Structure 1
Amino acid sequence: MTERDVRLGTVQETLLIPLYGRAVENRKKEAVLRDAVAEELVAAIDYDFARFDGLPMLLGTVLRTSLFDRWVTDFLAEHPTGTVVEIGTGLNTRYERTDNGQARWFELDLPDVIELRRTFFTDTPRRTMIATSVTDKAWADTVAAQSGGPYLFAAEAVLPYLEEADVRDVIDLLADRFPGSLLALDTSGPGHFDTQDQPGSLGKVDARMQWSCADPARLAEWRPGVDVLASDTFSSLPAPMYDELPAPVQEMVTGLAAQRLPQVEDYRLNLVRLPRGSDGE
């Protein structure tokens, strides 16, 4: 790949952290996940990725991505011709890791991100990039017109950067247009939210989270009928995932569980089922 300069907005720049995390992880003899494409992208982008070296959150982004991958894989095992919508796709390569050859994929992000993404990836009959904000409701028309359900929406490291009112609007949009769909999202509670200025967290970039969510179950207060199917932390990962982790990572996770650090316990990875009907039932 030819080296490319990167010019991204403040929040958009955060996509480079999980990209680098996957590239670093791929170099390990025993890895949480494999992503050779991430290594190629890092090598092709003119950016000082070394500024992220040593950040504890690098492994955290890999664990988060791996869990989201599992949810997508499980969804496609049950619905092989279903539709996956990546909200805030960044330079994620989930399609390369989990596609089953039958599903319909949409990759949604802001125009500057999609411009960068198009230098590495192209649309296909089953894979479409959409350049817009998740808060622009028109994108839902495009997805609905070009695909059928069931749907899984993966919003990884996206919604916490929105204002709460915008998050509410996104939840309403998904529930209204795609009732009964699955939504994978992360939430940041006070113990995590209040640490984002620390050097080991978002201190390396200018973006800051805006939406603090102490309890994902409160989504049902916004939209009656929302069902939280899973809500995990880095210290309480699902047993099947934990059992497959490299031994050093298992040891780290076990240590986190013993410490019960607020910055760990208040950051949750969630899978929710949206209401099946417009009345929330």
Structure 2
Amino acid sequence: MTDAVGETALWTLYHRSLAARDPECGLADPKAVELVEALDYPFAQRFGTDNRGWARGMAVRARCYDREVRAFLARHPRGTVVCLGEGLETQFWRVDNGTVRWLGVELPESAALRRRLLPDTDRCRTLTGCLLDERWTGEVDASDGVLVLAQGVLMYMAWDCVRALVEACAVRLPGAQLVFDTPPAWFAAGTVRGWFRYPAGYRPPPMSWGMTPARLRELRACPGVAAACARAALVRTLVRDPSALRTRPPPRPARRRPATPHPRGALMTTLPDEAEYSCVMPTNIAAIRALDKSGVFVREARLRHFAHIDGIWHDMLQYSVLEDDWRALRQNMPVRATCTPTAN
């Protein structure tokens, strides 16, 4: 696994293991720690050691996906979870309820490594194939519900291929739900331009696209797709199935967030029901003032040499607000403060 996109599987595994070792991250993932110790790979030399901010981010993302799977298994205890391009993800061991059926779809090199480190079992197996090859859908047991996950993979595919994949799932897996994460469009463009690089030398591979309202509308217009909603960092698509539509919960009201005047000076990343993180450059005074004056965000840390932009290393200030704190604050807010601001 030497290509840039394949190396992201090692990157995420390493940061999950760091999060699992940090009690403050709240991620129980002993399997990730076990894999890092078993692999003969220079993780620290390649990815660095002072990565607490990224480890926390990976922990939050992992918990968000775990919550999606547990909610699905609460409705379908014997359902099937399909993971597209999961690499060395250890989610099965975090959410296993004893009856779930787990199917991973991997390219040959990744599939061989995963089978060597995480051998197939009766309920958890890896299938070799291309995500765009619809034959993998024939291996899915859809008798008790299907949840398809694409964690950290679709942004590396061309947008036309992503649409084709969504349409294939809608046609071949009626009633299934697809959940994936995606960066904003400007962040994806930054990876193409080489804005982000680790001090140890690692550079994230270019991301082909990022989510925009127009792309979300395209997903909703795909044949067979009943609904597509962007709930913070996770995007859900639901193929047409009348019973599923009747039970789909209403959308959550939009949160009120501070404005960030400089798009390259602030990175806003929101995750459902867990926490909201904001990373801003120390030079972005307007964004820092907005965050400090909001009374909501708490400054967590200064991430040194976090972003490599235009050939220069930049520190970032990390802010966060927990969901519980946000809800408590909303309960004490006057009604006027929770309304959407309007122009004078």
Q: Normalised by the shorter chain, which TM-score bucket? A: 0.7 to 0.9
Cα deviation, 1:23-45, whole Å, max 9, x if unaligned, reads: 00111132231111111111111
Could you tell me which residue of structure 2 aligns to residue 111 of structure 1? 108
Per the normalisation by structure 1, the TM-score is 0.77
Larger Rg: 2
Secondary structure at the aligned position of 1:46 is classed as coil
Is residue 179 of structure 2 the alignment partner of residue 184 of structure 1?
yes
- Residues 92/227 of structure 1: CA separation in 2 closer, same or farther (3 Å cut): same
Is residue 238 of structure 2 the alignment partner of residue 238 of structure 1?
no
Could you tell me which residue of structure 1 aligns to residue 11 of structure 2? 17
Identity %: 33
Cα deviation, 1:193-235, whole Å, max 9, x if unaligned, reads: 122222357x724622113321363211334644235511474
- Is 2:146–2:176's contact at 8 Å kept on the other side of the alignment? yes
- Give unpaired runs (5+ residues) of structure 2: 234-267, 277-296, 302-317, 322-344
- Is 2:105–2:128's contact at 8 Å kept on the other side of the alignment? yes
> Which residue identity does 2:15 align to in structure 1?
G
Shift in Å, 1:153? 0.5
Could you tell me which residue of structure 2 aligns to residue 220 of structure 1? 220
Could you tell me which residue of structure 2 aligns to residue 270 of structure 1? none
Shift in Å, 1:181? 1.1
Secondary structure at the aligned position of 1:227 is classed as strand
**Equivalent residues in 2 for 1:150-229 (5 A)?**
150-196=145-191, 197-200=194-197, 204-205=202-203, 207-215=205-213, 217-218=216-217, 219-223=219-223, 225-229=225-229
Secondary structure at the aligned position of 1:198 is classed as coil
Give the CA RMSD over aligned residues: 2.7
Could you tell me which residue of structure 2 aligns to residue 267 of structure 1? none
> Which residue identity does 2:208 align to in structure 1?
Q
- Is 2:84–2:151's contact at 8 Å kept on the other side of the alignment? yes
Is residue 162 of structure 2 the alignment partner of residue 98 of structure 1?
no
Per the normalisation by structure 2, the TM-score is 0.64
Could you tell me which residue of structure 1 aligns to residue 27 of structure 2? 33
The structure with the greater share of residues assigned to strand is: 2
- Give unpaired runs (5+ residues) of structure 1: 1-6, 244-248, 258-281
**Equivalent residues in 2 for 1:242-261 (5 A)?**
242=275, 252=300, 255=319
Secondary structure at the aligned position of 1:194 is classed as helix
- Is 1:107–1:130's contact at 8 Å kept on the other side of the alignment? yes
